[in-house]
Amino acid sequence: MITSTSNIQVKELLRLQKKSREREKEGVFIVEGPRMAEEIPRERIVKLYVSESFQAKCVKEKNDRFIQEAEVMSDTVFAHVSDTKTPQGILAVVRRMEYTAEDILGETPHVLVLENIQDPGNLGTIFRTAEAAGATGIVLSKDCVDLYNPKVIRSTMGAIFRIPFIYTDDLKGTIDELKREGITVYAAHLKGENSYDMEDYKTACAFLIGNEGNGLTEETAACADRKILIPMEGGAESLNAAVASAVLMFEAGRQRRNKRK
């Protein structure tokens, strides 16, 4: 059992929790909590850690699913390495997923393209929503918040393991590639010509979503085939990036379900 915060494994876990550069260097990320641990493909687990009390609970419940190969930490040490205020007693070091541009397209592409999303909760929610809405994949500009940030991972609720995604250093070039694949690209924009629900998303489509505070840059918005507007009542001028993404993706999902009927 690990009982000291000076333990070399503890120091390594803290580096992985706090520094994106260390996570990238090692090609791993951290997952916490039993619910999220259930979602991890077993072949991707590099190392599993549990707290002493979590181990005792598993033994009492005769559930050895997580504890057979896990390293045990005292509750104090586990709380020291946990990124949450209320640690749930289980933490995994996981190998990153690797996808190609082809992986995000699916049979009928339904792609989300994100530019400079900065809020970890927003990004995690977008991933969770994309899975629920039937999106085939996500493109992230290089200046988006680190997807492997522990707060993002928790917010995805497991979708991180099921939605293909790629980061791109050349967002405009990647959007051009999508268009060459026959994908119609829509920009959610305050100057949209049509309301979002007047377009046809039953064929291959991609939605461009911009930064929470500033929206899409003009350069990226200009890449779209069409600019679309989400009409709003009252004094609201814009929507949260995750909410705007949800509105568009679920409309595409609704149209595609109706097409199959």
The per-residue pLDDT for range 223-250, each reduced to its tens digit, is 999 999 998 887 766 788 999 999 999 9
- Rounded CA-CA distance 84/7 in Å is 20
The answer to whether 89 and 81 have CB atoms below 8 angstroms apart is no
pLDDT band at 193 (very low <50, low <70, confident <90, very high): confident
pLDDT at res. 167 = 95
CB–CB of 23/150 below 8 Å?
Answer: no
Q: Sheet containing 205-209: which strands, arranged edge to edge?
A: 165-168, 137-141, 110-114, 205-209, 184-188, 226-229, 194-195
| 199 vs 66: which has the higher pLDDT | 199
- What domains can you pick out in the chain, each with its CATH number? 6-93 (3.30.1330.30), 99-257 (3.40.1280.10)
Tokens of 237: 């001028």
> Which of the four pLDDT bands, split at 50, 70 and 90, describes residue 94?
very high
User: Average pLDDT in the 177-188 region?
Assistant: 95
Query: Rounded to a whole number, what is the largest CA-CA distance in the chain?
Result: 63
Instruction: Name the residue with tokens 């896990």.
Output: 70
pLDDT value of residue 261:
65
Least confident of 79-88, 173-182, 190-199: 190-199
CA distance 77 to 29: 19
User: Is the distance from CB of 223 to CB of 173 less than 8 angstroms?
Assistant: no
CA–CA distance, 165 with 96 (Å, rounded to integer): 11
Cβ neighbours around 191 below 10 Å, total: 8
Residue 182 gets the label, from left (phi > 0), alpha (psi -120 to 50) or beta, of left
Give the global pTM: 0.91
Q: What is the rounded radius of gyration, in angstroms, for the C-alpha atoms of the chain?
A: 21
Distances (CA, A) of 116 to 96, 143, 205, 222: 21, 5, 20, 16
